[in-house]
Structure 1
């Protein structure tokens, strides 16, 4: 894999050759220092957006009012943001106006946490005016300056702090924790979509249970959709070892802990503004999980669920029962893989075939007949061959 900093270095050099400062900033620098995988890099520069556009021939204005320009170069695309300061915030989430500046330290000073307020030049030299590297080494989450100020500027930063506890297994320093508890109510001003994005990242972090406990301790859960009165249910969620569950599986486990009925699941997830596709996936997993908790899989349920839903259901079943029986999961998946068909379209007979054989037009009888054929093929009682199916149907019709 190509080092993303090496790939992006020519972009920094081009800005420097034009007489400007340019640095890698933010999460990519933090993750580099933590030896975590880096997917992309952010670049900050003393050049204004118009100056950036004059330097690079191919650009896209993706947030030019906030100083961000997307630069397209041979080896990729990079978001380049001008050093800036931000005026008084409104609605506890966005600044009234942004001013472009030439000073890196002032730009870093507006950032949320010290670990995210480190810049790095193309030679890997750190510019760290707020001791972010020290915070990383000590695994501490601390705001740049007063936590009261940072959280009142953008209340979502409180959820970001807790999310980092989940993702990085860091601890939040005491003054910052006190501010979380004191200012949690400001999250009422934040759009559900933004809160959901942070909550979902929290749900799939390795240290999620400690982060969820912190959500409860700071009363942040009271300002999340439909969770205000669910302390006991969230405490139940914390008790599970859910390390290996993905995002939708974690939503499914949360729903299990909340003891929601099928008709309530969609309403709950819509409150969180989940995509309809994800809502349907989660509903299916919860449906099969409720059946699995009562009995073993039937052949038809395996067929109806499909491989991905079987896997998710079994993972959840193991978590809820405190097991880690890989052989059990493999057993059910093998049964599924050995089914004669995996979906109705694989049946070697159509509705038109059946109507022709019986010289009848469609209706409820046809749906029932196709379902009967499907069930018998899945159960291994009927070969998936059109002549065998016709012969079998004719015999059944004579009885």
Structure 2
């Protein structure tokens, strides 16, 4: 038996925009509800950016109801409905069979029961359903858990974690994001089943780890992550308990993913760029994020010892230089973003393209074939202009290159 919560959610914003989809399904004789994180966030009076809809209608029935649909996961009951310039994922109520790999169900069965559908969800605070009037159906005590600020698995925690071992990471992630505590039985089930995380793709673990690290209540999430031994089944962290305890003490919220990785590298005491790159690659980061993170890591380590100069701001660019100041503040030191802004403002050039000479001009003046020397000459001129040794003037730069014997 479900319990209607006393509190109603105002049907505004994303809910209001999606309401025509809900009503059209209901008008055809089916049940339809807003479900999942959007309902939880609305109850917590947090911003709702997108909504998911669950229905008793089967996928083919949804496809007949709407003119424009996309089969985004039809084998699992999900159809994307395109309506009035928006897209909405509509998923049929379903039950799932046993899980042989701790990741995916062996089979999915479509059902007409909302309760049966919500029983398979991970946490009580994610198992709400809301109708078109903003009334909340709560089968599993999620309202009380929101009030008590508790993370609790739906039903038997061990069963939920055997269905999808990533749910253990989701539990500690929500603890970090919401500032909630792990309920005792849920925490115990994570401790017992932490080893199952090794069955989960690193990419999926990484997403949850980053969300946890960027949560406003990092210590609460990291405490569960460490004490449950989940960390032992994450790339490169098996022997890093004390390092992670230091990482957990970061007080200011982390706002960028590359900051997560640089701070983690710092607390793991990884300084070598090659070692840092290997660690990040083990976590399956994109090449671009590895590049950004390793560059920022090297700049941050430099900044721990030295102030910024024209050369560092020019080389790493203003964004990374400002990031290095933010990272200093994250570890309790004093950053100086104003200094970065001032240096950047006063740089004579911001890229080699702005240099008053180029390879063609140098070749014409040198009257010799190009070669490795030409690149070295441009590099020398660039460095001299950036550091203020030279004005960014063609005649002055050519005279400098002659003096340095790059050209005769």
CA RMSD of aligned residues (A): 1.6
Kept in 1: contact 2:157–2:185 (CA 8 A): yes
- Partner of 2:144, secondary structure, is helix
Q: 1:353 aligns with which of 358, 361, 368?
A: 361
2:134 and 2:149 mapped to 1: Cα distance? 21
Kept in 1: contact 2:213–2:254 (CA 8 A): no
Q: 1:366 — aligned with what? A: 374
| Pairs within 5 Å for 1:11-30 | 11-30=21-40
| Cα shift readout 1:2-50 (whole Å, capped 9, x = no counterpart) | 7000000000011011111110000000001011111110000110000
Kept in 1: contact 2:328–2:334 (CA 8 A): no
Q: 2:202 aligns with which of 192, 195, 211?
A: 192
User: Bigger shift: 6-15 or 361-370?
Assistant: 361-370
2:156 and 2:346 mapped to 1: Cα distance? 61
Answer yes or no: is 1:275 the counterpart of 2:283.
no
| Pairs within 5 Å for 1:293-312 | 293-312=304-323
Q: 2:3 — aligned with what? A: none
Kept in 2: contact 1:310–1:333 (CA 8 A): no
| Pairs within 5 Å for 1:75-224 | 75-224=85-234
Q: 1:259 — aligned with what? A: 269
Q: 1:234 aligns with which of 222, 244, 247?
A: 244
1:244 and 1:202 mapped to 2: Cα distance? 10
1:365 and 1:209 mapped to 2: Cα distance? 54
1:245 and 1:122 mapped to 2: Cα distance? 35
Structure 2's unaligned 5+ residue stretches are 1-11
Q: Cα offset for 1:99?
A: 0.6
Kept in 2: contact 1:72–1:78 (CA 8 A): yes
Answer yes or no: is 1:72 the counterpart of 2:74.
no
- Partner of 2:90, secondary structure, is strand
2:397 and 2:157 mapped to 1: Cα distance? 72
Structure 1's unaligned 5+ residue stretches are none
Q: Cα offset for 1:112?
A: 0.8
2:60 and 2:52 mapped to 1: Cα distance? 18
Answer yes or no: is 1:380 the counterpart of 2:379.
no
User: Bigger shift: 309-318 or 173-182?
Assistant: 309-318
Kept in 2: contact 1:28–1:42 (CA 8 A): yes
2:128 and 2:22 mapped to 1: Cα distance? 16
Answer yes or no: is 1:285 the counterpart of 2:296.
yes
Q: Name the TM-score, length of structure 2 as normaliser.
A: 0.93
Q: Name the TM-score, length of structure 1 as normaliser.
A: 0.95
User: Bigger shift: 362-371 or 36-45?
Assistant: 362-371
| Cα shift readout 1:110-140 (whole Å, capped 9, x = no counterpart) | 1111111110011101111112122112211
Q: Cα offset for 1:358?
A: 1.0
1:396 and 1:246 mapped to 2: Cα distance? 44
1:173 and 1:51 mapped to 2: Cα distance? 40
1:276 and 1:242 mapped to 2: Cα distance? 27
- Partner of 1:226, secondary structure, is coil
Kept in 2: contact 1:245–1:315 (CA 8 A): no
Q: Cα offset for 1:94?
A: 1.2
- Partner of 2:248, secondary structure, is helix
Change (3 A) 1:232 1:69: same
- Partner of 2:187, secondary structure, is helix
Number of residue pairs aligned between Structure 1 and Structure 2? 395
- Partner of 1:137, secondary structure, is helix
1:173 and 1:281 mapped to 2: Cα distance? 38
